[in-house]
Amino acid sequence: MHSRRALAAILASSLALGCQSIPPPQPAPAPASSSVETKETFFARGRAEVDFNARIQPNKRKAKNVILFLGDGMGVTTITAARILDGQMKGMKFGEENDLSFEKFPHLAHSKTYQANQQTPDSAPTMTSIVTGSKANDGMLSIAPNVIGPDPVAAAKPENRLTTILEQAEEHGMWTGVVSTARLTHATPAACYSHTPFRDWESDADLSPKAAEVDYPDIARQLLDFHVRDTTMNGKTSRGLEIAMGGGRSNFLTAADPDPEDQGEKGKRKSRNLVNEWTGRGGAFVYDQKGFDAIDPAATGPVLGLFERSHMEFELDRPKDTAGEPSLTQMTEKAIRLLQRSTKGFFLMVEAGRIDHGHHAGNAKRALTDAVELSRAVQRATELAGNDTLIIVTADHSHAFFMSGYPTRGNPILGLVVTNDDKTGLPETEPFKAKDGKPYTTLGYANGPGAVAGERPDLANVDTTADDFLQQSLVPLGSETHGGEDVVIYARGPQAYLIEGTMEENAIYFVMARALGFEKGKR
C-alpha cells in the first residue's frame, strides 16, 4: 500500500547513516556469577504464576463496555522483544523477566489471521474480520468477501455491507470512540466505521474514476456522515462517533484550506471541509497538545482530534513534535474518561498503528518503543475501567521479524549477539561472529530495506541501538512485509474466558458481541 512505501522511503536512507556511525563498541554484559538467578528464584516465579492461574474464575456477566486494543503488526516476536526492551529501559536486572501489562491478562488464545483471499494478510481484511465477524478480501474494509476487487457498484449493495461492532453499539445507544496513532482514515480505524472496497480511498481526491462517477463516499466523508442514531452527550447532540482521535488531517481539509499547524500546507480534498462540518454541528476540534489538554470530559461534546497531516509521530520522535501531540496513553485516558459518562456503556477501539510502520521500514527500535507505549496505554485503561468492562488486546497480523542467535541473558535486545563461553558459562567479552567473520544483531527481518547488495556490512563498530538503525534483512525489498503466523489475543473482564485455544480471527467479534448481549449469531 502507498503508506508502507512512503514510510520505507523516509527511513531507508538511515541504513547508510547507521553504518557510517562509529561509536565505541557496545560493552558485553559483565561476566559476574552474582548476576545468575538461583533455582529458588525460578521456583518462586513459576509457582506464583500457577497460583495466580488457579484462582481465576470465569466471569460470565454481561459487559457494559468493551475496549479493543489493536497493536498493528504486533506479532509474538514483537511482544517478546518489546517485553525485554521495556524491562531493560526500566533498569531491570536482565529484562527477560519483565511482563508487558496485557501479558498479565488471565485469558489468551492464538488468532489465525489468514483472510478470504490471502495467506499472509493486510490490515484491511484483518480488522474487518475482528469487528464484523466475517473474513474479507485484500484491501476491503467491512465489505463482504463476495466483492472482488475495488468495485464501487458491488460494494454499494446493502447485502455486501458488513455491520461492525461499533455500528451495533451505536444502535444500542452506546457511545463509541476510535483512537489511533495512524491516520483515522487508515485501514484499522476505518474498518470500524466505514465500508469501502479499496482502503486507499481515504479522501475524495483518492477515489478511482469509477468510484467518483457513482459518488462512492471516501473514508473521511464516511466518518463525518456516519450516523446510526442520535445521542445526547454533555448537552450536545452526537450524530455518530463521540470521540475520534489520531492523524490524517489532510483528508478532512480541502486543497484550499490552510493547515492549522503546518504553515504553507493545505488539505487534499476536492470538496467539503469536514472539520468545519464537525464543528458546525457542535463538535470540538483539536490539533495539538494545548487543544487536547483543554478537553474537559465532563463538559465537552463530540471530539475530533487530528494531530498530524498524515500519521502521528512515532513515540520515539513525539517529544520533538513542534506543536506537541498526545501519547497513545494520554489519548486512551481522555477517551475513556469522556466515554465513561455514557449511562448505556461504550465501545472504544485503540490502535497502536505505528508498530506496523516501524517494521515496514525495517526499524525495530521505533516499532518496539511503540509496542511499549501500547502496554502503557493498556495499563492505564485497566486502572480506569471497572469490572464491567471487557478489554481485549490483539494484533491484526504479524511481520517478517525474528529474534535469533544465542545471546546471553540480559544482552541488549537491540544489540549485537553476545553468547556465553562454552567452558565457563559466563558471557563472552566480544560479540559472536558469523561465518563471514562479522557480528550480527539479535533482531532482524526476513526481508525489507535492511538488505544490501553484495557483501554484508560489518556491524562491529556500528551503534545498532541508534534510533535510525535498520536491522539487516535477507531479501531486499523497499518495504518489509507482513508475516503469516498466528498472533495472540489477550483478554480480561466479562466473557473474557471465551478467548481460549486457537481461534479464527473473526471469532473475536463474536466474543465482543456476546459480552455486550448483542447476539449469539450473526445475521
Active site annotation includes 123: yes
What percent of the chain clears pLDDT 90, i.e. is strictly above it? 87
C-alpha cell at 452: 544490501
Average per-residue pLDDT for the chain? 92
Degrees, nearest 5: CA angle 144-150-156: 55
pLDDT of residue 2: 41
Q: β-strand 303-306 against 401-403: which pairing, if any?
A: unpaired
Q: What value does the mean pLDDT take over residues 87-92?
A: 96
pLDDT digits (tens, 9 = 90+) for 453-491: 899 999 999 999 999 999 999 999 999 999 999 999 999
pLDDT number for residue 6: 45
pLDDT bucket at 35, cuts 50 / 70 / 90: low
Dihedral sign of CA atoms 16, 18, 24, 26 in order: negative
Q: Domain ranges in the chain?
A: 65-400+481-516
Which three three-digit cell numbers place residue 14?
538511515
What is the pLDDT, as a whole number, of residue 13?
38
The answer to whether the CB of 396 falls within 8 A of the CB of 128 is: no
Q: Is it the case that residue 259 has pLDDT exceeding 90?
A: yes
Res 18: pLDDT: 34
Is 50 exceeded by the pLDDT of residue 174?
yes
pLDDT by residue (tens digit) across 124-148?
999 999 999 999 999 999 999 999 9
| Euclidean distance between CA atoms 74 and 395, whole angstroms | 5
Report the pLDDT averaged over residues 286-303.
96
How confident is the model over 103-123, as a mean pLDDT? 97
pLDDT value for 520: 54
pTM of the model: 0.93
- Structure confidence by residue, pLDDT tens digits, 353-364: 999 999 999 999
Number of other CB atoms surrounding residue 469 within 10 Å: 24
User: What is the residue whose three cell numbers read 562454552?
Assistant: 422
Q: What is the mean pLDDT of residues 151-167?
A: 97
Q: Are 214 and 224 in contact (CB under 8 A)?
A: no
Residue with cell 529484562: 95
Distance CA 499, CA 109 (A): 6
Evaluate the CA torsion angle 142, 146, 148, 152 in order and state its sign. negative
Q: Is the pLDDT of residue 20 over 90?
A: no
Which residue in this structure is represented by grid cell 489520531? Answer: 246
Q: What is the structure's pLDDT at 27?
A: 43
How far apart CA 118 and CA 137 sit, in angstroms, is 7
Q: Over 90: is that where the pLDDT of 5 sits?
A: no
Spatial distance between the Cα atoms of 141 and 191, rounded to a whole number of angstroms: 5
Q: What is the rounded distance in angstroms from the CA atom of residue 477 to the CA atom of residue 18? A: 18
CA angle 70, 491, 312 (to 5 degrees): 20
Catalytic residue among 3, 14, 111, 123: 123
Q: What is the pLDDT of residue 42?
A: 87
Task: Report which of 46, 85, 190, 91 is spatially closest to residue 132, judged by C-alpha positions.
Answer: 190
Q: Per-residue pLDDT tens for 406-441?
A: 999 999 999 999 999 999 999 999 999 999 999 999
DSSP state of 398: E
- Report d(CA 338, CA 233) in Å as an integer: 9
Between these two residues, 222 and 37, which has the higher pLDDT value?
A: 222
**Predicted pLDDT of residue 236:** 87
CATH H superfamily, domain 65-400+481-516: Alkaline Phosphatase, subunit A (3.40.720.10)
Give the model's confidence band at 405: pLDDT under 50 very low, under 70 low, under 90 confident, else very high: very high
Cβ atoms of residues 311 and 183 within 8 Å: yes
Lowest mean pLDDT among 6-15, 263-272, 353-362: 6-15
Q: Which of 168, 162, 152, 76 lies closest to 125, judged by CA?
A: 162
Which letter does DSSP use for residue 452 in this model? -
- Indicate the range of 36-45, 247-256, 416-425, 483-492 predicted with least confidence: 36-45
Give 303-334 pLDDT, tens digit per residue: 999 999 999 999 999 999 988 999 999 999 99
Other CB atoms within 10 A of residue 1 CB: 16
